[in-house]
C-alpha cells in the first residue's frame, strides 16, 4: 500500500505547496504534524495540545489505520468523528431549513389571504342588506359573521362543520328574517314560529336553488383550501422529523474516514473523490432519500390543490359571489311569497296567527324596491376586482419555488457533496488512498440500494423516518381518495427529470454502477435543484432565467464567500508562515486567521466551519 501511495502523495503535496508558495513546509509532512495542527485548529476539532508535534504510531486507532506513522491519536480520531457528524448535521439542517421556511411562510401567507378575502366577502354581503334590505341588517349581521367564521374555521381545520352545514344554517336563519320582515312584515315575534321556520326551511324551500348553488360554488375550492392547510401542516411536520433524524454510528465512521483520515497522513488538502462522497452521503441519508417518491407525489398534490383553489379564481369568485346568491335567494322568496305563506301556514300551523296580523302595504312596497339595481357602494365592481388575483399571485410564487424542491430528498446527498469534493483535481481521496479516480461501485439513492454500498453499512430503516414516510404516503392517499382528480401524475412526471428519471422510479434500480452515475449525479443536481456548486458560487438555474434566482444556501454562505475572496488575496501576498503556536492563541476571528492561513482549496470550508461554530470552541 505505501509503495503505491507515496509517489502519488508527493505529487499532490508538491502541487499544493507550489500553489501556496510554501517552500518552507516541504519537509513538514514527514517530520512534523504542524499542518495537521493548523487544520485541527481551523476546523474547531478540539484542543491543539492533542495533536502530536511529530508523527508517531497509535496502535489504538480504530478507523484511520494506515501503514506508517500517523499524526492522529485515538482521542483525535474521536473528536474528528464528532466534528464530521456535527458539520454534516448542520449542513443538512441548513438545507432543510430553506424548504421548511418556504412551506411555513407560504402556509401563513395563504391563511392571511383567505382571511382578508373572508373579511371582504363578509362586508360585501352585509352591504347588500345595508343598501337593499335595510330592515334586516342588524338581525342578519351576526348570522353573516357566523357564516364566514365557520367557513374560515373549515379551511383552517379548526372545526368540523362542513361547508353545506354552515351555508344551510345561514339560510335557515335568513328564512326567518325574510319571513318576518319581508313576507309578513310586522308579524309578532314568536319563538315557536321562529323555531318552526328555521327547521322547515328546506321543506318550504323559499329560496329555490339558490342555497344549493351557493354551496356548490363554494364546495370544491373550500375543500381544496382545507386540504392545502393540512398539506402545509404535513410538510412542516415532515421537515421537523427529518431535521432531527440522527446519523448512525456507521455513518459517523464513514464521514470520519472520508473527511479526516487523510489528515492523519498529513494530507490536509486532499478532497474526497466525488463518487466516494456520494456513496458515503447516500448511505448516511438512505432513509431520508427514501422519502423521494412520496415527496414528489406530495409536491404534485400541492400544485393541484393550489390550482383548484385559484384556477379561474375559484375561491375568490365563490366567496365574493355569496352576496349575489343571497340577493337572488331573497328575490326568489319575494316572487314566491304567496306560496311560501301558504306552506308556512300549513307546516307551522299559522293560519290563526296570520289572520290577526295586518301588515301595511307600504312596507310591502319597500320590498319591491329590491328588484331595482342595487346602489354602488364600497362593494363596487372596482373594489371587488381588487380582491381578485391575490391568491393566484401567491400560488405562482409558491409553485415557482416548490417545484425546485421536487427532488430535494434525493438530492440532499449530492448537495452535501457539492461542498465536500474537489472538482477537476488530478487526485482525490478514496477512503484509503490518494487515487486518480474512485474505483468503487456507486450506489443509487434510497434504502434498498444501500445493500451494495461499499462505504457505509446501512442497517434497518430508521423507525422515525419510516413512520413519517408512512404518514406522508397515507396523507397522499387520503387526499386522492377524497379528491380523485388531485395529484395524479404518471411515473414519468414524478421522476427526477427528463433525462435521468425513468430508471430511478423504483427504489433500487437507479444507477447500478460506476460510469452512468457520475453523469446522472451532475445532470440531476442541475436538473431539479439549484445547487450551490461551490462557495464562490456560480448559480445555475435549471429552468427559469436569472430573474428568479432562488438558492438553497447555508446561512453563513454570503459571509463565507466574502471571506474566501479575502483569503485568496491574502495568501497571495503572505510570505511568512505563522507558527501553530501563534494560531493557538489567536482563535477569534476568521479574518484574523485568514491573513495567516495557507491552504487555498481548503479555506472556504474552514471559514464556514469557523463562522458557524464560533460558539462551540472547545476549551481546555
Ligand atoms: C371533529 O369531530 C370529531 C368526531 O367526529 C371530534 O372528535 C373532534 O373533536 C372534532 N373536532 C373539532 C375541532 O371540532
Ligand atoms: C384536521 O382535523 C381533523 C379533525 O378535526 C383531525 O383529525 C386532523 O388531524 C386535522 N388535520 C390537520 C392536518 O390538522
Ligand atoms: C414543527 O416544529 C416547530 C418547532 O419545533 C413547532 O412549533 C411546530 O408546531 C412543528 N410543526 C409540526 C406540524 O409538527
Ligand atoms: C366605504 O368606504 C368609505 C371610505 O372609502 C368608508 O368610510 C366606509 O366606512 C365604507 N363603507 C363600508 C360599508 O364599508
For 5-43, write each residue's pLDDT tens digit: 444 444 444 444 444 433 333 333 457 898 899 899 888
User: Which atom number of ligand 2 is nearest to the Cα of residue 159?
Assistant: 5
C-alpha cell of 546?
A: 436569472
Q: How confident is the model at residue 304 (pLDDT cuts 50, 70, 90)?
A: very high
Considering every ligand atom shown, identify the ligand nearest to the alpha carbon of residue 242 and give its number: 3
Q: pLDDT higher for 513 or 475?
A: 475
How far apart CA 37 and CA 266 sit, in angstroms, is 10
Q: pLDDT grade, residue 491 (50/70/90)?
A: low
Cβ of residue 379 lying under 6 Å from some atom of ligand 4 = no
Checking if the pLDDT of 55 tops 80, the result is yes
Task: In whole angstroms, give the CA distance from residue 266 to residue 30.
Answer: 8
Average pLDDT (136-152) is 95
Out of 237, 239, 475, give the residue to mutate to test ligand 3, the one with the largest number of ligand atoms within 8 Å of its CB. Answer: 237
Question: What are 583's three cell numbers?
Answer: 494560531
Q: Which of 288-297, 480-489, 582-591 has the lowest mean pLDDT?
A: 582-591
Q: How far is the CA of 379 from the centre of ligand 4 (A)?
A: 9
Confidence band, pLDDT 50/70/90 cuts, at residue 494? low
Residue whose C-alpha cell is 458515503: 280
Does residue 127's CB lie within 6 angstroms of at least one atom of ligand 4?
Answer: yes
Mean pLDDT calculated for residue range 264-288: 93
% of the chain surpassing 70 pLDDT: 69
Decide: 119 in ligand 4 pocket, CB within 6 A.
no
Ligand 2: which residues within 6 Å by Cβ? 157, 160, 230, 233
Supply the pLDDT for residue 150.
Answer: 95
pLDDT of the residue at 109: 95
Q: Reply yes or no on whether the pLDDT at 606 is more than 90.
A: no
* Residue 147 scores a pLDDT above 90: yes
**At 424, is the pLDDT very low, low, confident or very high (cuts 50, 70, 90)?**
confident
- The answer to whether the CB of 287 falls within 8 A of the CB of 281 is no
Q: Which of 175-179, 187-191, 601-605 has the lowest mean pLDDT?
A: 601-605
What are φ and ψ of residue 434, in 5° steps?
-90, 125
For the segment 471-489, the average pLDDT, to the nearest whole number, is 90
- C-beta 10 within 6 A of ligand 4: no
* Nearest protein Cα to ligand 2, atom 13: 230
Query: Which tops the pLDDT comparison, 535 or 225?
Result: 225
Average pLDDT over residues 535-544: 32
Burial 250-278 (b: 16+ CB within 10 A, else e): bbbbbbbbbbbbbbbbbbbbbbbbbbbbb
Q: What percent of the chain has pLDDT over 90?
A: 47
C-beta separation of 103 from 121 below 8 A: no
Q: Whose CA is nearest to atom 3 of ligand 4?
A: 378
Cell of 206: 323559499
Residue 76's pLDDT is what? Answer: 93
Three-state DSSP state, 470: helix
Residues in Cβ contact with 416 at an 8 Å cutoff, skipping those fewer than 6 apart: 88, 91, 92, 95, 277, 281, 285
Average pLDDT, whole number, for the chain?
74
Mutate to test the pocket of ligand 4, among 122, 378, 380, 384 (most ligand atoms within 8 A of CB): 378
Give the pLDDT score at 386: 78
**What pLDDT shows up at residue 500?**
33
Q: How confident is the model at residue 568 (pLDDT cuts 50, 70, 90)?
A: very low
User: Is the pLDDT assigned to residue 218 strictly greater than 90?
Assistant: yes
The number of the ligand 2 atom at minimal distance from the alpha carbon of 233 is 13
- Residue-wise pLDDT tens digits, 134-143: 999 999 999 9
pLDDT for res 556:
36
What is the structure's pLDDT at 570?
Answer: 31
Render pLDDT for 315-367 as a digit per residue (tens, 0 to 9).
999 999 999 999 999 999 999 999 999 988 888 875 444 444 444 443 433 33
Is residue 310's pLDDT more than 50? yes
| Ligand 4 pocket member 378 (CB < 6 A) | yes
Looking at the predicted structure, is the pLDDT value of residue 271 above 60?
Answer: yes
The residue whose CB lies within 8 Å of the most ligand 2 atoms, and thus the one to mutate among 104, 158, 230, is: 230
Q: Which of 332, 323, 339 is nearest to 178 (CA)?
A: 332
- The 3-state DSSP class for residue 304 equals helix
Whether residue 67 is predicted with pLDDT greater than 90 in this model: the reply is no
Whether residue 450 contacts residue 286, with contact meaning beta carbons closer than 8 Å, is answered with: yes
Among the atoms of ligand 1, which is closest to the Cα of residue 161? 14
Tell which atom from ligand 1 comes closest to the C-alpha of 159: 13
Residues facing 434 on adjacent strands: 429
Radius of gyration of the chain (CA): 35
Residue 382: pLDDT over 90: no
Compute the average pLDDT of residues 455-463: 88
Q: In this structure, which residue's CA is closest to atom 13 in ligand 3?
A: 237
* Pocket flag, ligand 1, residue 157 (CB < 6 Å): no
Lowest mean pLDDT among 7-16, 83-92, 516-525: 516-525
pLDDT tier at 192, thresholds 50, 70, 90: confident
**CB 159 near ligand 1, within 6 Å:** yes
Give the least confident one: 55-59, 188-192, 421-425, 529-533.
529-533
Amino acid at each position: 500500500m505505501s509503495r503505491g501511495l507515496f509517489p502519488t502523495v508527493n505529487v499532490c503535496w508538491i502541487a499544493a505547496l507550489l500553489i501556496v508558495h510554501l517552500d518552507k513546509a516541504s519537509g513538514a509532512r514527514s517530520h512534523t504534524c504542524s499542518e495537521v495542527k493548523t487544520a485541527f485548529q481551523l476546523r474547531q476539532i478540539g484542543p491543539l495540545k492533542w495533536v502530536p508535534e511529530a508523527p508517531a504510531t497509535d496502535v489504538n486507532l480504530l478507523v484511520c489505520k494506515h501503514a506508517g506513522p500517523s499524526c492522529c491519536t485515538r482521542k483525535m480520531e474521536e473528536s474528528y468523528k464528532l466534528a464530521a457528524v456535527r458539520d454534516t448535521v448542520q449542513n443538512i439542517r441548513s438545507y432543510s431549513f430553506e424548504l421548511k421556511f418556504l412551506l411555513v411562510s407560504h402556509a401563513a401567507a395563504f391563511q392571511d389571504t383567505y382571511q382578508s378575502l373572508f373579511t371582504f366577502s363578509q362586508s360585501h354581503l352585509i352591504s347588500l342588506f345595508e343598501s337593499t334590505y335595510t330592515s334586516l341588517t342588524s338581525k342578519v349581521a351576526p348570522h353573516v359573521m357566523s357564516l364566514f367564521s365557520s367557513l374560515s374555521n373549515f379551511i383552517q381545520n379548526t372545526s368540523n362543520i362542513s361547508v353545506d352545514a354552515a351555508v344551510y344554517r345561514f339560510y335557515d336563519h335568513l328564512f326567518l328574517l325574510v319571513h318576518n320582515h319581508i313576507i309578513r312584515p310586522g308579524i309578532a315575534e314568536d319563538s315557536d314560529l321562529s323555531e318552526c321556520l328555521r327547521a322547515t326551511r328546506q321543506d318550504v324551500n323559499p329560496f329555490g336553488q339558490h342555497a344549493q348553488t351557493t354551496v356548490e360554488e363554494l364546495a370544491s375550492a373550500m375543500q381544496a383550501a382545507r386540504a392545502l392547510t393540512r398539506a402545509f401542516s404535513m410538510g412542516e411536520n415532515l421537515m421537523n422529523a427529518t431535521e432531527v433524524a440522527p446519523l448512525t454510528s456507521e455513518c459517523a465512521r464513514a464521514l470520519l474516514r472520508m473527511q479526516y483520515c487523510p489528515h492523519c497522513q498529513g494530507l490536509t488538502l486532499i478532497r474526497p473523490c466525488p463518487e466516494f462522497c456520494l456513496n458515503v452521503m447516500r448511505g448516511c441519508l438512505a432513509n431520508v432519500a427514501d422519502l423521494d417518491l412520496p415527496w414528489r407525489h406530495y409536491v404534485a398534490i400541492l400544485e393541484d390543490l393550489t390550482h383548484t383553489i385559484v384556477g379561474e379564481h375559484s375561491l375568490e369568485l365563490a366567496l365574493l359571489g355569496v352576496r349575489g346568491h343571497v340577493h337572488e335567494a331573497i328575490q326568489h322568496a319575494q316572487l314566491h311569497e304567496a306560496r311560501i305563506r301558504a306552506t308556512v301556514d300549513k307546516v307551522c300551523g299559522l293560519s290563526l296567527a296570520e289572520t290577526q296580523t295586518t301588515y301595511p302595504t307600504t312596507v310591502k312596497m319597500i320590498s319591491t324596491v329590491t328588484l331595482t339595481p342595487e346602489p354602488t357602494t364600497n362593494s363596487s365592481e372596482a373594489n371587488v376586482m381588487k380582491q381578485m388575483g391575490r391568491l393566484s399571485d401567491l400560488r405562482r410564487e409558491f409553485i415557482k419555488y416548490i417545484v425546485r424542491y421536487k427532488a430535494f430528498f434525493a438530492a440532499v446527498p449530492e448537495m452535501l457533496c457539492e461542498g465536500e469534493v474537489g472538482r477537476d483535481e488530478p487526485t482525490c481521496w478514496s477512503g484509503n488512498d490518494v487515487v486518480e479516480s474512485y474505483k468503487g461501485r456507486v450506489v443509487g439513492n434510497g434504502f434498498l440500494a444501500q445493500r451494495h454500498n461499499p462505504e457505509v453499512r446501512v442497517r434497518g430503516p430508521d423507525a422515525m423516518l419510516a413512520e413519517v414516510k408512512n404518514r406522508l404516503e397515507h396523507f397522499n392517499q387520503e387526499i386522492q381518495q377524497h379528491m380523485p382528480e388531485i395529484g395524479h401524475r404518471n411515473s414519468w412526471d414524478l421522476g427526477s427529470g427528463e433525462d435521468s428519471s425513468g430508471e430511478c422510479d423504483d427504489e433500487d434500480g437507479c444507477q447500478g454502477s460506476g460510469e452512468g452515475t457520475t453523469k446522472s449525479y451532475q445532470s440531476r443536481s442541475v436538473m431539479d435543484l439549484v445547487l450551490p456548486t461551490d462557495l464562490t458560487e456560480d448559480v445555475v438555474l435549471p429552468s427559469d432565467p436569472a430573474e428568479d434566482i432562488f438558492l438553497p444556501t447555508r446561512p453563513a454562505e454570503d459571509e463565507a464567500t466574502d471571506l474566501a475572496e479575502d483569503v485568496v488575496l491574502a495568501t497571495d501576498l503572505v510570505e511568512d508562515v505563522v507558527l501553530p503556536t501563534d494560531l493557538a492563541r489567536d482563535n477569534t476571528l476568521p479574518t484574523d486567521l485568514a491573513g495567516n492561513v495557507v491552504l487555498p482549496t481548503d479555506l472556504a470550508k474552514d471559514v464556514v466551519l469557523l463562522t458557524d461554530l464560533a460558539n462551540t470552541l472547545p476549551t481546555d
